[in-house]
Chain A
């Protein structure tokens, strides 16, 4: 073992290693005890590939294990680690510290979501609105009974909706939406984009029922095309585009 250590000591430093440090400010809030949130500050070293999530986990491991954060896949697939990073909604696992170009990184819970504790927020409302727009294919025929055995689609028909099928329900779009900052009943860009995803699917026959659901006072008409939802989407879903197309159906521009 000593020999191995000796060899390791003789190796030159990793030329890729450019360890620096930042001040990580983490919002702390426990609704059971706290009136308002407070920030705790930690100095964290990072490499150019270090993500914000890794920095938070480093704090949990070495400084304060009580920091509450939700995460799972660490590869922008599960949509669990959405939070405000330097004031903007982002996935912590998909945001490198080096690309923030700041010596101070502030992490807070996402806006427009009730806070469970620290950085973890409740997703019940997002899932409720998502479920409300019937996020599944509506078709009387089944693929089993059909003569063609399966519902075939052309590549063009797939392109009409596949972008919107990338949604991972991370909630960043709802957090960035300016309408959601004031309107608690607004259905939100995530659900509207998913409504378009199924309306645009050639296999689906539920367009009219979905349009009825979103055509209400706190529905699609509350969107004013600010586009912030599309700017923060980590999967390129572009909810603003889907919402405008959806509105096109209601206004008679599309059929």
Chain B
């Protein structure tokens, strides 16, 4: 344990169970963001293979036609849909939309910013991501 500042570090970020669905959404948002960044870099590398001519392009593209390639793309679909849906929720929140109004707090002090609208937004993003992944699997593995 680092005692200089007693920080939890990455472990604290990756331990969302104590703070409810909002903290889980925070962690998923970070993970999917990193995943999509990785996919973006891989995608640029993949498309650059067109410079190797038709053969090189077809060879590389064949990698995505494997079972592992399909599973990877299903994961990308899920990350993309969750990141988009939850990102819209967060952007609205950042603008002060749907975070409640200031008021004299009453015990037990349920925070207005953690309201049902945002919870619905998070659960909807998760469900949409799951549906999109299932659709993706149906398309890629259906034939």
**A residues with CB within 8 A of B:** 29, 31, 36-37, 87-88, 109-115, 121, 159-164, 166, 176, 178, 180-182, 184, 200, 224-228, 230-238, 240-242, 244-245, 247-248, 251, 253-254
Contact = CB atoms under 8 A, between A and B. Distances in A.
Contacts of B6: 109-115, 121
Contact of B95 (A162, A232, A247): A247
B45 interface: no
Which of A163, A181, A225 has the largest number of chain B CB atoms within 10 A? A225
B109 A234 contact: yes
- Give the dominant DSSP class at A's interface: loop
A230 B112 CA distance: 9
Contacts of B140: none
Given A228-B22, A240-B114, A245-B102, 7 more contacts: A112-B5, A121-B6, A181-B13, A225-B22, A231-B22, A244-B113, A253-B96
B115 to A, nearest CB: 10
Contacts of B118: 227
B70 interface: no
7 contacts: A31-B3, A114-B4, A164-B102, A184-B5, A231-B114, A244-B96, A245-B96
Given A160-B102, A235-B109, A245-B96, A230 B114 contact: yes
